[in-house]
Amino acid sequence: MVSRVIPVDVFDLVVFGGTGDLARRKILPGLYIRFRAGQMPEESCIIGAARAEMTDEGYRAFVGAAIAEFVAKDKQDAAVIAKFLARLAYVSIDATGENGWAKLAGLVRKGVVRAFYFSVAPSLFGDLAERLHAHGMADPESRIVVEKPFGRDLASAKALNAVLAAHFDEGQIYRIDHYLGKETVQNLMAVRFANILFEPLWNAQYVDHVQITVAETVGVGGRGSYYDQSGAMRDMVQNHMMQLLCLIAMEPPYKFDPDAVRDEKLKVIRALDPVPPEDIVRGQYRGGPRKDGSGEPSYCEDAGDAQSRTESYIALKVKVSNWRWQGTPFYLRTGKKLRGRESEIAITFKEPPHSIFGDEEGWRENVLAIRLQPNEGMNLTVMIKEPGPGGMRLTEVPLDMSFAEALGDEGADIPDAYERLIMDVIRGNQTLFMRGDEVEAAWAWTDPIIQGWEARGDKPRGYDPGSSGPEDALMLLHRDGRRWREIRE
Ligand code: NAD
């Protein structure tokens, strides 16, 4: 299969926070890859804007080092890197003061697509929007890209939406959720809506339950005190997992159009039931010995707060109260320091209404598992006759589709979510970005859950590093006669 690269229009992209961790690891290496692929036109410019004093040359060296560190070696071509670096400039700027703004306004061209990536703390969003406006850069053609976290509750999300809305229309605001940029997540929509096969079964009549798992092996490490202000519910469930749930549960949009898709996602969020305390399990990883005999810090040690009640793990049973999903639970779990690194959505179908084979031992439910990482792909388990002359015995086989294998060279080249999303910003396509009302609706569902455990003073349950999470999380499914899928090491 030959990959088709359609160049985007010429653009100027200003990366506020252009010296930060996110810019260094994701945004700038991603732009280089798109440049190398021929998607970023050579006349485009990238302007790093951050607090540090630096020359253009200094910034090019900084970005060159980021490419050397974060781009695969076989994609590092000296000549292409030199061309790419020549498209970079740098402005030392203060989001909260006047320093650098006149220079930036002089650099950003009129007549090309202008995008401003706010890769800075959300507390600076208002200052940036205000100054872009004051210096004549907030015209109807410009777009802004904002990073997570988008608020820590409904009130703060509303406040952020309001400061952005003061100078930009909703159609100019791109709220990034990098999960939506993943190939598999978009494939979920293709599988659902470009095939006749699944959609008739995609409802409570045929789907027993859905599991969404985002498991990490790493702890909060050096980000401990920062993470301690949020926890798994705010950091993962309110945004990424909610988005995945929406894509599974939503009705077919009338068109693959940004607002049509986002309207349907919003309806799902609004249909979510409040979650009672017995349907929530929060956990916190304990310390433990490492294989080399040294000690591994507990969550509280990582967070620098021996009394912390923030969860590094959460499992929830979520109900979507609408006609399609009445009676089909969605089980969500995410955690740090678990036994494997895995993101997966698994749709478990119901038993056939009648077994003509009698009480067949080998029988298993059909499961459609959609892997986001590692090895993006899909796997559908089906029952077949066990080969051989031993009578009619059933066995389960996977119909496995790993995109990297199925798509050959192109599959191996699946773009990183950031690459795709930045190109979507330039193309002006908001389908894979969260709309303001979606984010607010997600917080409106999340707030009472968090307020509930805060008011009760709930403590998270301890779990061992390298485990599958707290024991109580197993019970959440056991009591419904179900089991979590195994998190693979
Ligand atoms: P960082 O602390 O590494 O970098 C912050 C950047 O902001 C620096 O370039 C700094 O110079 C700039 N900055 C700070 N104050 C400024 C001011 N007053 N004026 C102008 N520039 C200023 O942060 P980061 O990890 O790159 O994260 C940036 C944003 O992206 C944050 O909102 C973060 O929550 C979000 N985010 C980061 C990651 C990640 O992997 N790092 C992932 C998702 C979201």
Q: What are phi and psi of 461, to 5 degrees?
A: -80, 145
Which pLDDT score, from 0 to 100, does residue 293 have?
64
Flag residues of the chain having pLDDT under 70: 1-3, 290-294, 359-361, 403-414
Judge if 273 and 391 occupy the same domain. Answer: yes
Residue nearest to atom 30 of ligand 1 (CA): 119
Which pLDDT score, from 0 to 100, does residue 375 have?
79
In testing the pocket of ligand 1, which one of 15, 16, 19, 22 has its CB within 8 Å of the most ligand atoms?
22
Q: Is the full-model pTM beyond 0.75? A: yes
Q: Which among 382, 378, 399, 24 has a CA at the least distance from the CA of 185?
A: 378
Judge if 91 and 184 occupy the same domain. Answer: no
Residue 72 forms part of a structural domain = yes
Supply the DSSP symbol for 375.
S
User: Ligand 1: distance of its center to the CA of 16 in Å?
Assistant: 8
How many angstroms separate the CA atoms of 34 and 423, rounded?
Answer: 8
- Name the residue range of residue 42's domain: 11-147
- The CATH number that applies at residue 282 is 3.30.360.10
Q: Contact 119/149 with Cβ under 8 angstroms?
A: no
Residue 457 forms part of a structural domain = yes
Residue 174 forms part of a structural domain = no
User: Ligand 1: distance of its center to the CA of 17 in Å?
Assistant: 5
Distances (CA, A) of 119 to 3, 95, 152, 182, 440: 30, 12, 17, 20, 21
Residue nearest to atom 25 of ligand 1 (CA): 21
Residue 444 forms part of a structural domain = yes
Ligand 1: which residues within 6 Å by Cβ? Answer: 16-23, 50-52, 93-96, 119-122, 124, 147-149
How many angstroms separate the CA atoms of 64 and 322, rounded?
Answer: 51
Judge if 465 and 348 occupy the same domain. Answer: yes
Judge if 109 and 239 occupy the same domain. Answer: no
User: Ligand 1: distance of its center to the CA of 320 in Å?
Assistant: 35
Residue 159 forms part of a structural domain = no
How many angstroms separate the CA atoms of 265 and 314, rounded?
Answer: 23
Could you confirm whether 178 is annotated as catalytic? no
Q: How many domains does the chain have?
A: 2
> Using omega within 30 degrees of 0 as the cis cutoff, is the peptide bond preceding 149 cis?
yes
- The CATH number that applies at residue 34 is 3.40.50.720
Which pLDDT score, from 0 to 100, does residue 187 have?
86
Last residue of a domain, one of 147, 172, 191: 147
Handedness of CA 242, 227, 476, 279 (dihedral sign): negative
Judge if 206 and 137 occupy the same domain. Answer: no
Tokens linked to 314:
């959460």
Cβ within 8 Å of residue 430, ≥6 positions away: 171, 174, 258, 262, 424
In testing the pocket of ligand 1, which one of 21, 28, 98, 178 has its CB within 8 Å of the most ligand atoms?
21
Q: What are phi and psi of 273, to 5 degrees?
A: -75, 155
Judge if 187 and 238 occupy the same domain. Answer: yes
Residue nearest to atom 39 of ligand 1 (CA): 22
Judge if 143 and 223 occupy the same domain. Answer: no
Q: Contact 14/104 with Cβ under 8 angstroms?
A: yes
Residue 168 forms part of a structural domain = no
Residue 422 forms part of a structural domain = no
Judge if 189 and 258 occupy the same domain. Answer: yes
Judge if 264 and 305 occupy the same domain. Answer: yes
Residue 349 forms part of a structural domain = yes
User: Ligand 1: distance of its center to the CA of 330 in Å?
Assistant: 34
Judge if 128 and 51 occupy the same domain. Answer: yes
Q: What are phi and psi of 124, to 5 degrees?
A: -95, -5
Cβ within 8 Å of residue 67, ≥6 positions away: 28, 29, 32, 76, 81, 84
Last residue of a domain, one of 105, 125, 147: 147
Question: Which string of DSSP letters, residue by residue, matches 295-307?
Answer: EE--HHHHHT-TT
Judge if 111 and 219 occupy the same domain. Answer: no
Judge if 227 and 325 occupy the same domain. Answer: yes
Catalytic residue among 167, 240, 354, 478: 240
